[in-house]
């Protein structure tokens, strides 16, 4: 089946944002008189944003009384520092350049709110280069619900079956499957702490970005 549109998750797939996310969490811990956590403990949870960082840093989950205030503080701190260390993953530029050369559109579908996603994508040269950018507040639902992916396909004017979604979390695979897209796991990303990528039901698990071009028969 040919692929007319390649959609990517943002954090952990296109962009390594974990250092700034972890930095905001440890900044909050320092303000509370707590020792910083090792980056290795925080990185796997970076794909879950504030929920993931606060869960590790403070042991709180959404719905708990103090979660909302901690989340707002985290967002404030993260917004101030989110571009300090964020960078495109090694190998991503070659993939996007190849897609552009072959006039094959690509886009971004992320659970990150547009308040953060759009300036990050713009600062890192991904937007408005991408054909579409759907954030966590672009539809009433976030992944693993298929709505954000279906919205991306709709905006580009393509059927979901013509799209592939590349992400570094099991929920990305679930969202893509539910949308009727092919799904590819980015094993260079954050991956979470659950089942390993080969158990996510992906069409392919890639060790590094360049392998996507081979899978798409572009290299």
Question: Per residue in 62-98, pLDDT tens?
Answer: 999 999 999 999 999 999 999 999 999 999 999 999 9
8 to 76, 99, 107, 110, 124: CA distances (angstroms): 26, 12, 6, 8, 15
Mean pLDDT (the chain) is 96
Residues near 100 by beta carbon (within 8 Å), at least 6 away in sequence = 129
Which of 70, 87, 71, 75 is CA-nearest to residue 114? 75
Domain holding 68, by residue range, is 18-81
In this structure, are 119 and 51 located in the same domain?
no
In this structure, are 160 and 101 located in the same domain?
yes
Return the pLDDT at 2. 77
Please report, for the domain that includes residue 153, its CATH number. Answer: 3.40.50.1000
In this structure, are 132 and 171 located in the same domain?
yes
pTM score: 0.96
pLDDT tens track for 117-167: 999 999 999 999 999 999 999 999 999 999 999 999 999 999 999 999 999
Return the pLDDT at 1. 59
pLDDT tens track for 11-63: 999 999 999 999 999 999 999 999 999 999 999 999 999 999 999 999 999 99
Residue with tokens 């989340």: 71
9 flagged as catalytic? yes
Q: Which of 9, 11, 16, 172 is catalytic?
A: 9
121 Cα distance to chain centroid: 11
């Amino acid at each position: 089946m040919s692929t007319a549109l390649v959609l990517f998750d943002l954090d952990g797939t296109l962009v390594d944002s974990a250092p700034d996310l972890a930095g905001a969490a440890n900044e909050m811990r320092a303000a509370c008189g707590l020792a910083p956590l090792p980056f290795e403990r925080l990185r796997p949870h970076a794909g879950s944003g504030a929920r993931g960082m606060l869960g590790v840093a403070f042991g709180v989950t959404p719905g708990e009384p103090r979660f909302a205030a901690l989340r707002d503080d985290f967002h404030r701190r993260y917004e101030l520092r989110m571009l300090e260390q964020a960078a495109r993953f090694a190998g991503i530029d070659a993939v996007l350049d190849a897609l552009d050369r072959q006039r094959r559109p690509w886009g971004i579908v992320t659970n990150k709110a547009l308040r953060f996603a759009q300036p990050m994508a713009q600062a890192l040269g991904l937007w408005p280069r991408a054909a579409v950018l759907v954030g966590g507040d672009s539809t009433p639902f976030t992944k693993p619900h298929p709505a954000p992916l279906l919205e991306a396909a709709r905006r580009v004017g393509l059927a979901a079956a013509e799209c592939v979604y590349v992400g570094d979390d099991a929920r990305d695979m679930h969202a893509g499957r539910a949308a009727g897209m092919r799904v590819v796991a980015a094993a260079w990303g954050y991956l979470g702490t659950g089942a390993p990528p080969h158990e996510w039901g992906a069409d392919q698990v890639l060790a590094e970005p360049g392998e996507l071009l081979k899978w798409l028969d572009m290299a």
